[in-house]
Chains A and B, each alone.
Chain A
Amino acid sequence: MSYKKDELLNYLNAALEQIESSVKRVYGFRIETLDLSPALVSIEKARNIASPRDKALVEEFESEIKKFVGVRMTAENIAEVKEILRHFGSEVSMAKVVQDYSEDEYNSFLKLLEDPKTKDCIISLQEEKAKPISREELKIILDLKIVEDRNGKIHLTERGKCLAKVLRCL
């Protein structure tokens, strides 16, 4: 199903960023309500191109976010928005990570998630602290294009950065 998944994820990412920035603005300029209109526009765009199953998810997100339209933002409300953003954001970035995997790659990726060592390694790579890792594991990560070998040094790819972001939140 390569039905415009890229586009869908981009719209959703944009929406998430817009909401995040408006949350920041609430803090910065002491505004009382969130400005959600640009985010809602991109969510609507996403909804229009989503497949029925993805649409259900997007609609849920939309309805959750719409609750905060014109609502005075208290600390509690902000925490709630952030929680929603965290959950939904993690799903979207995870979807970005696994987007172009084949079935086999996806299955080996799932196995990789079960191993706490590799997870720690990916997180520590993001913080630029190298942790020891076995050759086999390294090979798996390299195959999954989570890390790449640049001049004999291991770096996270874009995909890897996305994954590290999700894993850190867990």
Chain B
Amino acid sequence: MKWQMSYRGRFHWAYRQRRGRRPDYFFRRGGKIVPGHFPKRPRRIIWIRDTHETDVYPKTKAISKAVGAEEAEEEIIHIVTDDQNDVRAIVKTYKWPHDGPWNKVDYEPVIWFYKKGFNRPSHAISFSHYGYVYHIGLRSWDRNDFSPRFPNEFHTPVLRANRTRIVDGTLSRGAYAYAIASLHTREQKPVETSQVREGFPPNSVEISKELTNIIQNWEECWIELQKG
């Protein structure tokens, strides 16, 4: 290993070495002379050279470890704009491996509603595989916040919102309440990406049907949102 001393160390009286000679460091320990490092082996710093598209010079950036953030495996985006109502709706479909008691993959559409001139959504509608949930007055809009998951339960996303409203059917209401209860009981945290398993390919026909249905009826949803 190539070894370089710090500037200060190089000129310290005790460490002036003859040129060309490898510095040898020893400790005295109980009359014995043992090899050691002085004053300290320089800390290893790893820098990554990363060229960003817009940068002329390569940028150096330190490695940071992403902790706990869960990533959807796939994201399908449909954008619907309605200028008359000053609203933009974006339907994003996330592919989550479904790790509930039933072993299957879930495609989960989430509609994000933006008011005109805003670049962050104010409302969202998420669809677990049955029943849907309105998130009113979103406090956070980052995708990574979007799902503390229930590893053993049905996959019901919880967005951080001021209020959530559950629509369509009491059975799904019950499922949602159950998910909430279990979340709080277990103080559940997001599953790390490494734990996410591969699943079966989903039934694509069903998904597209669901998506088209959402896109067709999204105005209705928005009107309902305004009321709520």
Contact = CB atoms under 8 A, between A and B. Distances in A.
Interface residues of B, number: 29
Query: What band does the interface of chain A fall in when counting residues whose beta carbon is under 8 Å from B?
Result: 35 or more
A97 B174 contact: yes
Most buried by B among A9, A88, A110: A110
Contacts of B169: 1, 5, 51, 53-54
Interface of B: 100-102, 129-131, 152-154, 163-166, 168-175, 177-178, 180-182, 184-186
A53 B175 contact: no
Contacts of A95: 170-171, 173-175
Quick one: which of A8, A64, A109, A170 has the most chain B CB within 10 A?
A170
Given A106-B166, A107-B163, A110-B164, A54 B178 contact: no
B168 A53 contact: yes
Interface string A101-134: 0010011011001101001000000000000000
B186 A53 contact: no
A84 interface: yes
A60 B178 contact: no
Contact of A97 (B153, B164, B177): B177
B173 A170 contact: no
A56 B130 contact: yes
A109 B181 CA distance: 10
Interface string A1-21: 100010011000000000000
A5 B170 CA distance: 7
The CB with the most chain B CB atoms within 10 A, among A95, A97, A116, is that of: A95
B171 A8 contact: yes
9 contacts: A8-B171, A87-B101, A88-B101, A91-B154, A94-B174, A106-B173, A113-B180, A114-B180, A166-B181
